[in-house]
Structure 1
Amino acid sequence: MTQADGQTGLSDAGRAWSRVRANLRLSAGARLFDQWLAPMSLVEPCDGEDVRLALPSAFMTDWVRNHYAERLVHEFRALLPRVRSVAIETRRATPAPEVLAIAVPAPAAARPVAAAAPLLDLVAATPAGAARAAAPEPASLVERPQLDPRYTFERFVADPSNRVALNAARALAEPGPVRFSPLFIHGGTGQGKSHLMHAIGHAFLDARPDARVLCMSAERFMFDFVAAMRARDTHAFKSRLRGCDLLLIDDLQFIAGKDATQEEFFHTINEIMAAGKRLVISADRAPQALDGVETRILGRMSAGLVADVKGSTLELRRAVLAQRLAELPDAVVPAEVVDMIACRIASSIREVEGALNRVVAYASLTGEVIDLGFAQSVLGDTLRGAQRRVTIDEIQKLVSEHFDIKQIDLLSARRARAVARPRQIAMYLAKRMTTRSLPEIGRKFGGRDHSTVIHAVRRIEELRDTDRDVDGAVRTLIHQLEA
């Protein structure tokens, strides 16, 4: 042992472990590292050939083995070529793990986003000035959510189609007594549900930096619950979720038909609501239209505030593009290109933003000037896909086949319910999925006035929130038209 070794008291493996930890923090990102890798400790004595690392729970051990076993071997061998293996095991020690005493500088940025973060983002929450080793583990860990920094209330473009959901989201994010919970947000893909959920998380943490907030998809909830059961560590899984001050669950429809997952999900939301905590759920349809989800879960969802994000209007798409362009001061995009994107890509806000980003990126890479011809060339496939969905004749044909009526009945003056409702649905789809004006749509349906089209659109929007059959029919037709 050298004099330096005697002073530090660290073995070769101990010094290598300090370097490995620092490298992992840089490569994995602070939040992922703090959650999964920081609690890992080196088991001493170590002969320098067979390294043993310990984690405090089987759940964490299983995750690190699956995701970082090979990486750990590579990191150790880069520093100690004689290392033959790196074993990862579970040690449920009462005292705080040795690793918590190792000072690893944290980045200055607040709430960084990991590129491939797992279920929970945990960071050590130690009172200022207190020694890390004195904090109990894992109670010293405060959950941090995976929040996209782009998704804030400031960047959310308000419109009559989403105003109710936006106001409800702002209200739930405010500190103080909980005014309502849960908040259930539903709407089509790419219309802004996830944006609102992340914005709630950001605003709530800004008001309460010490709050425990968790954001995940329902699919991730199911995946990690199954992993916890396999690792026989469901207690840690449950405590992490049920200890939240704010729980955000996206895309509830993905647990449809998953009985065991729904059982755990029900008890989780039950405890959060009983404790007066905040709960936000999103789905692609209203609670009443979620097939395969237990009635008792839907009952809990309906007990709070249900708000929908309707399909985007042309005005909203234009406003979103204008805002995004303001964030790209170096991009010169003519008004006619912006209008073309807003008019011809109506399926979702996400696709509208993606189309603009693609045009600007291609121009930057090729050095070409953005004009209408350039944009149409770059967005060829996207525009052809959108063009396929703008034929009113195709909508009328598909609707008549779906409801087993004649296509000419949609143009007739018949007011029987068996014809009137499909006609209203066809008008609704024509307004949503084409760029035709209201008078043009009215003329396509037997020369009807534009006010009749407005009434049909509003009626179907109302029924989609309350009538499962109507909502299901509309979703089926949209899927077939988009396919």
Structure 2
Amino acid sequence: MSDTARAWAIVRQHLRESAGARLFEQWLKPMELIETGDPEHVRLGLPSAFMTNWVRNHYAERLLAEFRQQLPQVRSVEVETRIARATPQVLTAANAPEPADVAVVPGLAAAPSPAPAAAPAVVASIAPDERPPLDPRFTFERFVVDASNMVAFNAARALAEPGVPRFSPLFLHSGTGLGKTHLMHAIAHAYLEAVPAARVILMSAERFMFEFVQALRNRDTFAFKARLRSADVLMIDDLQFIAGKDSTQEEFFHTIAEVMAAGKRLVISADRCPQGLDGVEARITSRLSVGLVADIKAPDAAMRRAILNAKRADLPELRVPEEVMELLASRISASVRELEGALNRVIAYSQLTGEAITLDFAVATLGELLRGAERRVTIDEIQKAVSQHFELKPLDLVSARRAVVVARPRQIAMYLAKRLTTRSLPEIGRKFGGRDHSTVIHAVRRIEELRDKDRDVDSAVRVLLRQLEG
């Protein structure tokens, strides 16, 4: 074994001990010593240009210093991309002999020679545990687009295209459950499909903070910094959670600054625009405002219906009536996540109970959710709407008149009061001329029966429901 090979075995051991197991396995272990017979110039090979550039940027000076500790005559250490081929002159990090009782020698520094122009024959792959845990449902194809999210969608697609990014960072902001996370997963899916060897990191701001604190405790911040700053696409979700965390913000600032300086892709999301992030340092919000800031607005009723239609298309074997879809789209407007969750809940309860999905089944299944999401309708508003629809006076509904032209609208008004308000049966009865709760129960049951038999009654109820809930 040559002197250079012996020195390489010792250097490798130092790197393993100082860099930590994870970083060593991922970046340094693949290095191979290329024997040249020149004791002054050391050549190390890696299987891809991507890995070569990373080691040059982070370990060039360290490698030179380590070799000089063992062989003072070494003048340079070249890190290059080596085309894979069988040769007995290559000593790999895996088969190099282990030195006995080697002390760690600190060192830093290097001026490597430029890499050859030849492209690597072997593409570096990402270790399975390094790939982000992406949701297969969250792709661009499955994202429903309209005016409320079109800018954010188009910006995300543009950033996911390979080549030099047109802008970076991309800052997405909206209320919870409106599609920010979906777009971030879609960017990762699309970019990894176009560039399979790319390093994509997607984590929440809370995870960023947790890993940084763990690195501090383990005295291994170098590996944490190196992993994030080596990413081709770095995405941090829910930035608002680092508000007020000074040490985390310090590290976050330096991370995004280096990612941006390297021309990498950076995507950040939050529940408000950069300038609205209270407790986040101004230098961070200023950096994040340099790229493209895109907001996602709450979807309107038509958009919510389109989202439900797309969801239902994935379940062709299930029949979800139009009136149930209309109920969900009109009553649940807080977020897309809540909307999809409501549909999933109705479908799951139907499958578990064996009951068909009907409007009444959906209302019973989603009772609390619908009551929490609905606009607070008063009995007075119901009486006014019903009297206008049937061309009556509001006093007719609370009078003692029993003629069908008055009694039927009164029953419909009681039915709507039971369905749209949280008032008790006695309270509803009192609002209709002091009637008792049994009269209200009879009215509700009668209208439920008529809706199945009388098209005019069912149509009137539908019209009034849309009017009152809108």
TM interval, short-chain normalised: 0.5 to 0.7
1:244 and 2:222 are equivalent in the alignment:
no
How many angstroms apart in 2 are the aligned matches of 1:245 and 1:197? Answer: 14
* Aligned-partner SS, 2:196: coil
Which residue of structure 2 aligns with residue 230 of structure 1?
217
Which residue of structure 2 aligns with residue 279 of structure 1?
266
Which residue of structure 1 aligns with residue 197 of structure 2?
210
Cα deviations by residue, 1:133-183 (Å, 9 ceiling, x for unpaired): 95789x986531121111000000001100010000001101111100000
Change over 3 Å in CA distance of 1:298–1:130 after alignment to 2:
farther
Change over 3 Å in CA distance of 1:233–1:161 after alignment to 2:
same
Which residue of structure 1 aligns with residue 372 of structure 2?
385
Structure 2 gap ranges (5+): 1-15, 32-81, 96-123, 379-419, 421-470
1:326 and 2:313 are equivalent in the alignment:
yes
Q: Is the contact made by 1:58 and 1:232 (CA closer than 8 Å) also made in structure 2?
A: no
Which residue of structure 2 aligns with residue 365 of structure 1?
352
CA RMSD in angstroms comes to 3.4
Which residue of structure 2 aligns with residue 145 of structure 1?
132
> What is the correspondence of 1:411-422 to structure 2 with a 5 Å cutoff?
none
TM norm structure 2 = 0.55
Q: Is the contact made by 2:126 and 2:198 (CA closer than 8 Å) also made in structure 1?
A: no
Matched to 1:216, the amino acid is M
Which residue of structure 1 aligns with residue 244 of structure 2?
257
How many angstroms apart in 1 are the aligned matches of 2:377 and 2:145? Answer: 29
1:341 and 2:339 are equivalent in the alignment:
no
Q: Which of 248, 257, 271 is 1:270 aligned to? A: 257
1:374 and 2:385 are equivalent in the alignment:
no
Q: Is the contact made by 1:159 and 1:316 (CA closer than 8 Å) also made in structure 2?
A: yes
Q: Which of 287, 290, 314 is 2:277 aligned to? A: 290
* Percent identity for Structure 1 against Structure 2: 62
Deviation, 1:329, is 1.0
* Aligned-partner SS, 2:202: strand
How many angstroms apart in 1 are the aligned matches of 2:84 and 2:355? Answer: 54
How many angstroms apart in 1 are the aligned matches of 2:299 and 2:30? Answer: 52
Cα deviations by residue, 1:350-386 (Å, 9 ceiling, x for unpaired): 0000000010111111111000000011111111111
Q: Is the contact made by 2:126 and 2:197 (CA closer than 8 Å) also made in structure 1?
A: no
Q: Is the contact made by 1:181 and 1:273 (CA closer than 8 Å) also made in structure 2?
A: yes
How many angstroms apart in 1 are the aligned matches of 2:212 and 2:29? Answer: 27
How many angstroms apart in 2 are the aligned matches of 1:273 and 1:351? Answer: 35
Which residue of structure 1 aligns with residue 151 of structure 2?
164
Q: Which of 162, 173, 180 is 2:167 aligned to? A: 180
Q: Is the contact made by 1:57 and 1:92 (CA closer than 8 Å) also made in structure 2?
A: no
* Aligned-partner SS, 1:161: coil
Which residue of structure 2 aligns with residue 311 of structure 1?
298
Q: Is the contact made by 1:56 and 1:93 (CA closer than 8 Å) also made in structure 2?
A: no
TM norm structure 1 = 0.54
* Aligned-partner SS, 1:384: helix
Q: Is the contact made by 1:245 and 1:277 (CA closer than 8 Å) also made in structure 2?
A: yes
Cα deviations by residue, 1:337-357 (Å, 9 ceiling, x for unpaired): 000001101000000000000
Change over 3 Å in CA distance of 1:212–1:157 after alignment to 2:
same
Cα deviations by residue, 1:175-213 (Å, 9 ceiling, x for unpaired): 111100000000000000000011011001111001010
Structure 1 gap ranges (5+): 1-53, 62-89, 98-125, 393-433, 435-483
